[in-house]
Amino acid sequence: MRTWKFIRPPLTAGVVLAGQMARAIYRDDLPTLENQDPSGVFGDPEAPPLRIVFLGDSSVTSPGVDPLDASWPRQLSFHLAERFHVTAISVAVGGAKIRDVLDSQLDEALAARPDIAYLSVGSNDALRGTPIARFEKEYDAAASRLHAAVPATALSGIGDLGTIPRLPELARGIARVRARSVDAAIARVASRYPRTVKSNAWDVMEKMFTTESTMFGADLFHASTDGHLAFAAVGREVVDRAVEIWQVQSDIRG
């Protein structure tokens, strides 16, 4: 009789990274940082009103950032408040993937009737093995709904996740490749929708997060206060462009 040998197929990079991530996440020698809500009202009540909603993951909920005003959503709100009376609403949830945005954040975000929507998600998909084709399909579904209902949409690009110090050395290389693929998927989606602008978070993380030890929080995973200020510097240009798009749409709609 012939004896059949069953050979286990090689693990994909995403599966390897997901396993490494699980071990990194459950380290008990590092603190757990609490998620926060950057929502608020900013600026002169007599200024023209502007409503912005933030969707996504812990990049929005800013674990451990102190003061919370240093978080990039708050920093962008302060920036906009120089010209507008800003109502900022966060529906983001720490740990969210794009599927979670579709299932539990989009309806709430659209119900707020924002002038600008800012979506920041994808890092958890990159680190936890979501297939890139599926991520792009689901991300496109979210962007499509936002584009249909909101005058202007901002999409946050994904930075170099290989800089995360909490990850084991092997996982960092995989994280870098996966993050590049997710960021490219977001760029492809952004190109399909004319009232959409995408940020470039990659250059910030690749340069500053590699050389500056203060860019990560005490958990060695989430961006620190300094990290959020760096992201805010990129985001200001993004929201300024989103405001221009919103104002054009307001003129068109009369």
Greatest pairwise CA separation for the chain in angstroms: 87
- Which residues does residue 152 pair with via DSSP β-bridges, in sequence order? 116
Alpha-carbon dihedral 203, 207, 210, 216, rounded to 10 degrees: -60
Q: Provide the domain limits for residue 249.
A: 33-253
CB 173 within 8 Å of CB 227? no
106-126 pLDDT, tens digit per residue, is 999 999 999 999 999 999 999
Residue 237's CATH number = 3.40.50.1110
- 7: in domain: no
**Across 51-60, average pLDDT:** 98
* CA–CA distance, 42 with 44 (Å, rounded to integer): 7
Q: Tell me, what's the pLDDT at 22?
A: 59
CA distances from residue 237 to 9, 46, 75, 233 in whole angstroms, order as listed: 46, 24, 12, 8
Residue 131, phi then psi, degrees to nearest 5: -55, 140
Domain total in the chain: 1
Would 124 be classed as within a structural domain?
A: yes
Reduce the DSSP state of residue 150 to 3 states and report it.
coil
Asked if 101 contacts 155 with a C-beta cutoff of 8 angstroms, the reply is no
| CB-neighbour burial class of residue 80 (10 A; exposed 0-12, middle 13-18, buried 19+) | buried
Q: What is the model's pLDDT at position 6?
A: 40
Which pLDDT band, with edges at 50, 70 and 90, does 130 fall under?
Answer: very high
Is 121 inside a domain boundary? yes
Higher pLDDT, 249 or 50: 50
Q: Are 198 and 234 in contact (CB under 8 A)?
A: no
pLDDT bucket at 3, cuts 50 / 70 / 90: very low
Residue 206 confidence (pLDDT) above 90: no
Cα(163)–Cα(215) distance, integer angstroms: 10
Average pLDDT in the chain:
89
- What angle do the packed helices 13-25 and 169-190 form, to 10 degrees? 120
Q: Measured in Å, how far apart are the chain's first and last C-alpha atoms?
A: 81
Length of the chain: 254
Q: What are the C-alpha distances in Å from 95 to residues 101, 102, 106, 207, 243?
A: 11, 14, 16, 25, 28
